[in-house]
């Protein structure tokens, strides 16, 4: 059974750096084409892809966030980490991590709400 | 960037009725389109991928069709648990896998 869970701060101040951890189980993250991605959803709004990291450490980022976003993985710890710098109130959202196969998010974490406010 | 448009924004139906949801892409995505269901306070759940393939554990009342720019999600007979928001998502415009704005299916 594949599960993912996001963890990290619920409140960050403007200009601070957000670090979220996705801890997963049920897959080894060694299958060709496998990835873990991050998707966010501002309150009451639609979903937005942020980026993802493949089993071979290849990474893809949303172009508009490329200068601020880093995604890394530690397969031995079964974790994927998202770092988003220079946070702004418009970054307030529920952040989801997801297990991706065939470039579709097949399994999702429960999400974590991050509020950006001073 | 490929833009996905969903219609209608809201669909008001009764249990047992048939629901037909539309997703239109600003350019061809071939068959590389998925549908997700999201209930309040929950993560989205994958229903359909590659336009017409049901994900694991998804009931047969959910079906997807279409290719190119026009896609349809059909729920043949609405169950009480099907009232939710539905999103389409394309995966051809890599790495910007855009989602549509969503269609809310609510109880009439």
Confidence band, pLDDT 50/70/90 cuts, at residue B106: very high
Q: Does the pLDDT of residue B98 top 80, yes or no?
A: yes
What pLDDT score was predicted for residue B23?
Answer: 98
pLDDT mean across residues, chain B: 95
Asked if A105 reaches chain B (Cβ–Cβ under 8 Å), the answer is yes
What pLDDT score was predicted for residue B96?
Answer: 74
Chain A residue numbers with beta carbons less than 8 Å from the beta carbon of B37 are none
Average pLDDT over residues B89-108: 90
Burial of B28 (0-12, 13-18, 19+ CB in 10 A): middle
Cβ proximity of B43 and A96 under 8 Å: yes
Cβ proximity of A49 and A43 under 8 Å: no
B87–A47: do the CB atoms touch at under 8 Å?
yes
What pLDDT score was predicted for residue A30?
Answer: 85
Q: pLDDT tens, B37-78?
A: 999 999 999 999 999 999 999 999 999 999 999 999 999 999
DSSP state at residue B82: G
How many helices and strands (H and E) does chain B possess?
A: 0, 10
What pLDDT score was predicted for residue B95?
Answer: 67
Q: pLDDT tens, A15-40?
A: 999 999 999 999 988 888 899 999 99
- Chain A / chain B CB contacts < 8 angstroms: 51
Shortest Cα distance, chain A CAs vs residue B99, angstroms: 6
Shortest Cα distance, chain A CAs vs residue B83, angstroms: 17
Q: Other CB atoms closer than 10 Å to residue A117's CB: what's the count?
A: 10
Shortest Cα distance, chain A CAs vs residue B53, angstroms: 12
What pLDDT score was predicted for residue B22?
Answer: 98
Chain A residue numbers with beta carbons less than 8 Å from the beta carbon of B36 are 47
Closest alpha carbon to B86 in B9, B3, B2: B9
Substitution target from A26, A42, A45, A47 for chain B, most B beta carbons within 10 A: A47
Residues lower than pLDDT 70 in chain A: none
d(CA B104, CA B84): 6
What pLDDT score was predicted for residue B18?
Answer: 97
| Integer Rg of chain A from CA | 13
């Amino acid at each position: 059974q594949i599960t993912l869970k996001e963890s990290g701060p619920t409140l960050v101040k403007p200009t601070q750096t957000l670090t979220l951890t996705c801890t997963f189980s049920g897959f080894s993250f060694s299958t060709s084409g496998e990835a873990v991605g991050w998707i966010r959803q501002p309150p009451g709004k639609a979903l937005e892809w942020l980026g993802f990291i493949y089993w071979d450490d290849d990474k893809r980022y949303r172009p508009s966030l490329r200068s601020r976003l880093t995604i890394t993985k530690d397969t031995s710890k079964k974790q994927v980490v998202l770092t988003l710098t220079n946070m702004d109130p418009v970054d307030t959202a529920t952040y989801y991590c997801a297990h991706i196969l065939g470039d579709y998010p097949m399994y999702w974490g429960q999400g974590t709400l991050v509020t950006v406010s001073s | 960037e490929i833009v996905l448009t969903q219609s209608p924004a809201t669909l008001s139906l009764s249990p047992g009725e048939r629901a037909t949801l539309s997703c239109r892409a600003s350019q061809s995505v071939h068959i590389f389109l998925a549908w997700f269901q999201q209930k309040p306070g929950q993560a989205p759940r994958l229903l359909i991928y590659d336009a017409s393939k049901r994900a694991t554990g998804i009931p047969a009342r959910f079906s997807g069709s279409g290719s190119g720019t026009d896609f349809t999600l059909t729920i043949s007979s609405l169950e009480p648990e099907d009232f939710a928001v539905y999103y389409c998502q394309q995966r051809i415009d890599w790495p910007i896998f855009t989602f549509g704005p969503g269609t809310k299916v609510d109880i009439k």
